[in-house]
Amino acid sequence: MDKPDGHICFDVIRRGSREPLVVNNLLESAYATTDPNVVPYQLQTYIGQAVACQNTPVGSLCVVYQRDFVPDLQDIQLLTTLAMALSIEEERKRSEQALLDSYQLLEHRVDQRTADLKAANAQLHQEIVERKQAETALRQSEERFRNLIEQSQDGILLMDTDTCIIEWNPVLARITGITREEAVGQPFTLLQNNMVLEHRGTPENIERVSTTIKHYFTTKQADWDQLSFQSNVLRPDGTGCITQSIVFPIMGGEHPMLGCITRDITELKIAGEQAFQLELEQERSRILADFIRDASQEFSTPLSVIKTSTYLLTQIDDPEKQKQHMASLDKQVAHIQALIESMIDMARLDSDDDIPFQRFDINKLIDEIRVRITSIAEKKELALRCDLQANLPLIDGNHKSLHQAMIKLVENAFEFTPAGGSITLRTHQEKDTVVITVKDTGIGIHAADLDRIFERFYRVDPARSRRGAGLGLAIAKKIAENHLGHIDVESTPGEGSAFRLVLPISPG
């Protein structure tokens, strides 16, 4: 792996510290000349944390900003928690694979060497030793996972579909006044006899939450992503607090579960920051729940390929086949990197941070894009056409963001237009708006998918055979909304699609 000196992320890896690295005023630091990303993207603030596996740094997790500020403790704790989660998950998977390999090897050797009892017994003894070692490693990994839950700043509750509590962390114990020993293994309804739990909100919302959860426990099925609600909690000792909770189904395993993230928001209420802080905490919990669900699905395929290729590399000696598996690994790592970069872009857009606007001619931006993509179109054997209205009114916007949105729309057209087709970039004025159209002669989109193509991680291809992060159109849509505009689409299967980015004209 290339590790150039002066690159912030690789400095974090080489540093290998458990403490996050925070660098402010990047444009005036030494990294402005040594890190290739600082100046082009006008980065000002960097927060990075080394990701370690078995006490060895293997990567880094970072967040960068185009403004200079000092991150608060919550920002740093969140990054540290995510980095710890990645480290623990990697170690867990390695231990789990080691255990699986041990079991498979044991079964194979017992079947093959039954005739030679002495040799089989010796081999069996060795396999048992290896299995115990793998079980020990897995148990240690589970202990690290428990440490992560116990160190969380939020209360975490896990229940099975019989409402029996299987996880209850220390923060939740402080919120409710009920210890983990009193909670785990007990039905949640029994605990409610030891405390008063009063839901806050409209009667309709309270009824919706109650009905949805009861239906999930009854049917073991969920057609919902998450529920949010507030509660008044009266502890057994007579003290109380106000909580904000996010409840979400966990359907991925053999046995469905219900997860709940709870935060004590009493101080926020008392401090008079109810409206802003509650909305912020709810959004963070929603993003966290969405990330856990969507990212696990998106990472599962490339990680499975990586795991398989890594295993096969240890089993084969043919250099050509090893090369093929290494190429597969590189491809999946590149996909994961693109997915992470898109997630970071989406998170930046969701942060609602103010971005600088300036007045400019959209035709000049389209011409820049035309120059950039001409060679790509030629390589894909696609005809590229431009039809730009002269003397188009100026718009107010962020040039970099709109450039990114247009690139996402063009990349989408490239992806779904076969060789011999054409892509047209068109601009025109429509009342008090400027419309930029990306029209292709590709495979088109079925009407049933049109309402969902801008959803995050959604792909029209149900088999997910086309590579991509599944976030391109969502990013473009969010950028349009941040500019008080919108994107609409018209499409006919077999004939092509036309995406229209509509932006308001600059006043005056």
377-417 confidence digits (pLDDT tens): 999 999 999 999 999 999 999 999 999 999 999 999 999 99
Region class of 23: left (phi > 0), else alpha (psi between -120 and 50), else beta: beta
Residues 6+ apart with CB under 8 A from 387: 424, 425, 426, 427
C-alpha span between 41 and 49 (Å, rounded): 20
pLDDT score, position 292: 56
From residue 498, alpha-carbon distances to 245, 380, 435, 436 in Å are 42, 19, 12, 10
pLDDT score, position 464: 38
C-alpha span between 350 and 481 (Å, rounded): 11
pLDDT score, position 316: 76
pLDDT score, position 466: 46
Is the separation of the CB atoms in 502 and 487 below 8 Å? yes
pLDDT score, position 1: 42
CATH architecture assigned to 358-504: 2-Layer Sandwich (3.30)
pLDDT score, position 353: 64
Phi, psi of 166 (to 5 degrees): -120, -10
E strands within 165-265? Answer: 165-168, 196-200, 227-234, 240-250, 257-264
Residue 177: CB atoms within 10 A of its CB come to 18
Residues of the chain with pLDDT under 70: 1-4, 138, 141-142, 145, 190-206, 252-254, 272-278, 280-281, 283-313, 325, 329, 331-340, 342-343, 346-347, 351-353, 457-470, 508
pLDDT score, position 439: 96
pLDDT score, position 139: 75
Q: Measure the N-to-C terminal CA separation of the chain; round to a whole number of Å.
A: 53
pLDDT score, position 191: 60
pTM above 0.75, yes or no: no
